Amino acid sequence: MADYVRPVIDVPALTALLDGVHVEVRTMVRENLTSHAEILDEAITMGRDEFRDRVLEVILEMAGSGASSLGFPEEYGGGADIGASIAAFETLAFGDLSVLVKSGVQFGLFGGALLHLGTRRHHETWLADAISGDLVGCFAMTETGHGSNVQALATTATYDGTAREFVLSTPDDSARKDYIGNAACHASTAVVFAQLVLEGRSEGVHAFVVPIRDGEGRLCPGVRIEDDGPKIGLNGVDNGRIWFDEVRVPRENLLDRYAQVTEDGVYRSSILNPDRRFFTMLGTLVQGRVSVGGAAINASKVALAVAVRYANRRRQFGAPGGTTDELLLDYGMHQRRLLPRLARTYGLHFAQEVLVAELHEVFSNPDAADERRRRALESRAAGTKALGTWHASDTVQECREACGGAGYLSANRLGALRADTDVFTTFEGDNHVLLQLVAKGLLTDYASEFEDLDQLGMVRFVAEVAVETVIERTAVHKLLERIRDVLPGGDDKWDQEAGVLDPEYQLAMFRWREEHMLAGVARRLKRGIDGGMEPTEVFSRCQPHVVGAARAHVDRLVLEAFTAKTAALPDGDNKVALNHLCDLYALSVIEDDRAWWMEHGRLSSQRSKEITRTIGQLCRKVRPLAADLVDAFAVPEELQRAEMLR
């Protein structure tokens, strides 16, 4: 450290790097949010009903700026740029998160369902009004008794061939639509997901456009709605419950891009396999998961900007006999609390950047994307959303604690961030379920029979397929070969010979863990079935290992994205700073899971201690850069809204 020359960060250049190709869009959204910064105070001072109306007012004003329409076709008033639309949504997370979520419901979920599941006649009827906000809608998928298990939804849409209408019904309270944003107050129309029933037989879950309120705001006949009531956070979003009592809609209100019902009640679809058809329909809505993950990462930036700035001015204790107390950020423990999370935020940002670029390419050129590429995109979106939202919850809480009592005051933004981001871990898919889908995608690389299966489908697969010929031959053996392939320098010496700051060492550690965990899942599945255990029990016992393998996979994707980004930078101080953060991220992940690596013989006690020492050294190197690193996020000062920073 004595010879270390501190890099001088070029903050505008680093901001430009983070903003990427959509700098103009992000700048526009920052300016829009700044002009409505008072809403952060109004969230505290207004009553719930008044604040809900205020949030609606803000998103309709923003719709007028064009920020909400960027991902829609130009012919309906959009910008035809999916990447730009994600960038705009992510940046909304710098402001009040009720605005972000309500915007996501209106333009991402409701508008996105019309766009991706509907055809031209649906677009011409509803899309322009949805984009402008003249038609306020909701996305009625989740049911009280059927959360993540969408295929088991119980709401029915039965075709009446005589009237040429679908009749929607809620069979019992467990089938009521629940937690539906915009439903309690503002939506006039819902996209409703229900079992399509023809002559007593369900053809699976499909989406229908259903009016729920008339032009005067009165409920339509047969529709019952209740408010979900106060929530932990996001009380500017009017979540509600919906029941349908034989509500009739025209046959044309079926969003029929992937399946059609003729006038005489004949079901037609170009996708014959019902599981494949279902996952294809849901796959078109992947943009929601990508958006939520990016928003969570940006919320982490706000929390870190507030906490680091506070720690850079708040003094506490000090050396005996000294005249000045020490800054909080000069304490090693405080550095340990904030700086690895700052490093992970940068890493997740770059991983999100890779994901958004892939999403943009796949959806901008749908004919060029094969089935495997789409599935890989869905898997990456699920995994990044899971780790990004968990990171937000962890980071916001740690930042709150790091600011002591000041962080507990509503005037200092962190309390609202903590409350409003909490649900991110469970909407757009519970994170544990999403990681099981990631693991399914990984297993698909080795056994194609895993394709198109959700959690229950994986159980059926374990029960019905000759596991020894699929899992053992194509998964275990191939995985073990790949494990050997990623070990540099031979199985016995690589741990001792590679330096802990060597990117190849870091990547090898991440890759080895991922492959070993995945092979372990395959072996456990086989062993359970060979032992005569029930498939449901086999899968249940394997779930912790399934989730662990998926987390290891996403950790590796984050490190690869971070490493690639830093490697591509021109030499200079910004590259030095980001290399420090990349190292800090990689070693922190290894340290957090060092027991696993040590159990499996890939981390000696000496190397473990070296990693811990090196993390401390990296924190000391990053400490003088921390203020510039959070300033590079370009969170407008008006949106940090922290009394303790004045």
Which pLDDT value is given to residue 428?
86
Which pLDDT value is given to residue 495?
56
Pairwise CA distance, residues 353 & 361, whole Å: 12
Mean pLDDT of the chain: 89
According to CATH, what is the number of the domain 286-316+326-631?
1.20.140.10
**Nearest-CA neighbor of 90 among 82, 100, 105?**
100
Phi, psi (5° rounding) for residue 212?
A: -120, -15
Q: Which of 143, 398, 428, 451 is catalytic?
A: 428
pLDDT confidence of 268, banded at 50, 70, 90? very high
CATH number 2.40.110.10 given to 140-273: yes
Sign of CA dihedral 377, 507, 586, 346: negative
Q: Among 3.40.50.510, 1.20.1740.10, 3.10.580.10, 1.10.540.10, what is the CATH number of 11-135? A: 1.10.540.10
Q: Are strands 189-198 and 137-140 parallel, antiparallel or unpaired?
A: parallel
How many of the other CB atoms lie within 10 Å of CB of 364? 13
Would you say residue 485 has pLDDT above 60? no
Tell me whether residue 472 is one of the annotated catalytic residues: no
Distances in whole angstroms, Cα of residue 142 to Cα of each of 148, 242, 344: 8, 10, 32
Per mean pLDDT, which range of 159-173, 365-379, 566-580 is the poorest?
365-379
pLDDT confidence of 535, banded at 50, 70, 90? confident
According to DSSP, the residues that pair with 191 across neighbouring strands are: 139, 209
Which pLDDT value is given to residue 318?
66
pLDDT confidence of 190, banded at 50, 70, 90? very high
Dump pLDDT digits (tens) for 307-326.
999 999 988 876 656 657 78
Dump pLDDT digits (tens) for 4-42.
788 999 999 999 999 999 999 999 999 999 999 999 999
Dump pLDDT digits (tens) for 293-312.
999 999 999 999 999 999 99
| Residue ranges covered by each domain of the chain | 11-135, 140-273, 286-316+326-631
Structure tokens at 300: 């982490």
Pairwise CA distance, residues 502 & 153, whole Å: 50
Residue 441 or residue 170, greater confidence:
170
Which pLDDT value is given to residue 148?
73
Mean pLDDT of 486-510: 72
Would you say residue 171 has pLDDT above 70? yes
CB 280 within 8 A of CB 205: no
Question: Matching CATH topology for 140-273 and 286-316+326-631?
Answer: no
Would you say residue 465 has pLDDT above 70? no
Which pLDDT value is given to residue 493?
56
pLDDT confidence of 368, banded at 50, 70, 90? low
Q: Please give the helix or strand (H or E) that residue 319 lies within, else none.
A: none
Q: Are strands 223-227 and 201-211 parallel, antiparallel or unpaired?
A: unpaired
Would you say residue 509 has pLDDT above 80? yes
**Nearest-CA neighbor of 585 among 304, 344, 338?**
344
Which pLDDT value is given to residue 646?
82
Neighbour-count burial for 497-521, b at 16+ CB within 10 Å, e otherwise: ebebbebebbbbbbbbbbbbbbbbb
Would you say residue 160 has pLDDT above 80? yes
Pairwise CA distance, residues 46 & 55, whole Å: 11
Most confident of 258-267, 271-280, 437-446: 258-267
pLDDT confidence of 445, banded at 50, 70, 90? low
pLDDT confidence of 452, banded at 50, 70, 90? very low
Q: Per residue, what are the HEC states of 601-646?
A: CCCCHHHHHHHHHHHHHHHHHHHHHHHHHHHCCCCCHHHHCCHHHC
pLDDT confidence of 267, banded at 50, 70, 90? very high
SS3 call for 414 = helix
Which pLDDT value is given to residue 487?
45
Mean pLDDT of 183-201: 97
Dump pLDDT digits (tens) for 98-119.
999 999 999 999 999 999 999 9
Which pLDDT value is given to residue 320?
59
Percent of the chain's residues with pLDDT above 70: 89
Which pTM does this prediction carry? Answer: 0.92
Which pLDDT value is given to residue 453?
42
Mean pLDDT of 175-191: 97
Dump pLDDT digits (tens) for 581-638.
999 999 999 999 999 999 999 999 999 999 999 999 999 999 999 999 999 999 999 9
DSSP per-residue string spanning 579-596: HHHHHHHHHHHHHHTHHH
